[in-house]
Amino acid sequence: MNFLERLNVYFYHSDREKKWTEDPARILGWSSEQTQFARFSVFEKSLNLRDKSILDLGCGYGDLVHFLRVKQPIKHYTGIDFHKSFIKQAKLNADNSMRFLHGNFAQMRLPVHDITIASGSLNYRSNNKNYLPTVIRAGFSASREAFGFNLLDSDYFREDRLLQAYDPKEVLSICRNLTDDVEIIRDYMEEDFTIIMKPS
């Protein structure tokens, strides 16, 4: 994503912070907390997270780690987001096993963790056709055991100026250039799909 694309995302969330002051899920761009948690549940059910280190790309307020810890004990968690106010708020609810970093995960050298997750953060529009393959490669390289991410499905989601949908077959092709162990999950929400990649 270029500077103007990131700025567009920044103003989108800033406007939502003013509009939905008491609804964190809506501020982050989810249609509801239920749809946010539905996506989180896919990762919880598909990955062995017990006593693992987790890297969260586009962490927002850190909702993912709080959701997962109710289900499975997490050894260590690192969340990255380029929206300063999200990171500031996330740190208020963090304990010693959590670390929150302000930065653009697409341009950072990512710290290696057992499992990397990107939930919702790869849906923002970019005119750079190499953006998604580059981020997938970086996320997978930062993962000892698995990289999981979700995307909007172009068969069902109508794109707009902010959000971009993808053809699942094309995404699978990108992933299979990196590993043979790729799983796609499509049974939880019509307009969304999840990819789980593991070293083969």
CA separation for the pair 170, 182 (Å, rounded) = 13
User: What is the bridge-based pairing of β-strands 113-118 and 143-153?
Assistant: parallel
Higher pLDDT, 28 or 62: 62
Higher pLDDT, 144 or 29: 144
Q: What is the pLDDT of residue 14?
A: 61
- Mean pLDDT (the chain) is 88
**pTM for the complete prediction?**
0.87
CA separation for the pair 185, 74 (Å, rounded) = 23
Instruction: Give how many domains the chain has, as a whole number.
Output: 1
Question: Please, which pLDDT band fits residue 18 given cuts at 50, 70 and 90?
Answer: low
Q: What is the pLDDT of residue 36?
A: 84
Query: pLDDT by residue (tens digit) across 89-121?
Result: 999 999 999 999 999 999 999 999 999 999 999
User: CATH code at 30?
Assistant: 3.40.50.150
Query: pLDDT by residue (tens digit) across 152-196?
Result: 999 988 877 778 999 999 999 999 999 999 999 999 998 999 999
Least confident range from 124-128, 135-139, 187-191: namely 124-128
Query: pLDDT by residue (tens digit) across 43-102?
Result: 999 999 999 999 999 999 899 999 999 988 999 999 999 889 889 999 999 999 999 999
Give the pLDDT mean for 11-28.
57
Residue 184 belongs to what domain range?
3-198
Q: What is the pLDDT of residue 54?
A: 99
Please list, in sequence order, all residues whose beta carbon lies within 8 angstroms of the beta carbon of residue 118, skipping any fewer than 6 positions away: 56, 57, 58, 135, 139, 148, 149, 150
Q: What is the pLDDT of residue 88?
A: 94
Question: Please, which pLDDT band fits residue 3 given cuts at 50, 70 and 90?
Answer: low
Q: What is the pLDDT of residue 150?
A: 97
Type of residue found at 134: T
Q: What is the pLDDT of residue 126?
A: 85
CA separation for the pair 65, 52 (Å, rounded) = 12
